[in-house]
Chain A
């Protein structure tokens, strides 16, 4: 697998993520986060996950940005703290330790782009080979989402409904 196009995308991802977390003005941070989502969608399209890229571009970059902006316009759009954040020892020790562990485990992962990696061995070839016969749909992602794993999607809509209700209840103005 050649990484010629991938390395600049990954660098852009890291740069926009760092910008979104470091900028003091929260509106700019939210817009940087939206550009991070778009670069993520590009990277996913590059990796062959077009459906996920669409969803990330619409829901991640669109809806999440709108939600953040609505919140900021209703509250304080600036990080008011001038002085530096207090030092936290657990984060300073724990996170580099976690990073070392993750990087040490890197050699045990299957190579990216390996067609016979364990992730694409057991049930995934079954979906690919049988979905056209079972569902008459050329898009395998759709047939897995809507047919083989329809209960998963059903419960997901329940989660979205619950969260919508929670938002409505939280944001209701109290009449007092």
Chain B
């Protein structure tokens, strides 16, 4: 038990990821307002990306931009660039999909006149 507690205290990033992920996921599942659900979705996505970046950090390392005159380059002196690249792609794609879902919501509002999920289901009948 004490061992587990120590494992959590050594990884505060992971704790923050778990809290953000579970909280916003529960908001996504339970809220009936469509914009609120999208806010929850956005936080879920960014929390996962935050975890990826937290894995890439190395203590005592600098940003992955090579210093002048660094030859040969020692990999332990720079943060891991690979999660950064994957996260860059994911951030942009995430905002693109967010735009599509917001456009869908706008189209639904034009047809049904509400953003409440249950109201929409009622008016569809």
A and B: interacting chains: yes
Partner of B85, one of A26, A29, A145, A163: A145
Contact B81 A140 (CB under 8 A): yes
Contact A128 B59 (CB under 8 A): no
Contact A112 B46 (CB under 8 A): no
C-alpha gap A40/B94 in the complex (Å): 15
Contact A140 B65 (CB under 8 A): yes
Chain B residues touching A, range: 35 or more
Chain B: CB-nearest residue to A144: B85
Q: Which of B1-40 contact A (CB under 8 A)?
A: 3-4, 7-8, 10-16, 18-27, 29-33, 35-36, 38-40
Contact A141 B93 (CB under 8 A): no
- A18 → chain B closest CB, angstroms: 7
Contact A140 B25 (CB under 8 A): no
C-alpha gap A20/B23 in the complex (Å): 11
C-alpha gap A20/B85 in the complex (Å): 28
A-side interface mostly: helix
Q: Which of B27-62 contact A (CB under 8 A)?
A: 27, 29-33, 35-36, 38-40, 42-43, 46, 49-50, 53-62
C-alpha gap A1/B10 in the complex (Å): 9
- B76 → chain A closest CB, angstroms: 5
- B106-122 to A contact mask, C-beta < 8 Å, 1/0: 11010000111000000
- B70 → chain A closest CB, angstroms: 8
C-alpha gap A95/B103 in the complex (Å): 29
Chain A: CB-nearest residue to B79: A48
By a CB distance below 8 angstroms, the chain B residues around A102 are 18, 21-22
**Which residues of B are at the interface with A, using a C-beta cutoff of 8 A?**
3-4, 7-8, 10-16, 18-27, 29-33, 35-36, 38-40, 42-43, 46, 49-50, 53-68, 70-73, 75-76, 78-85, 87-89, 91-93, 95-100, 102-107, 109, 114-116
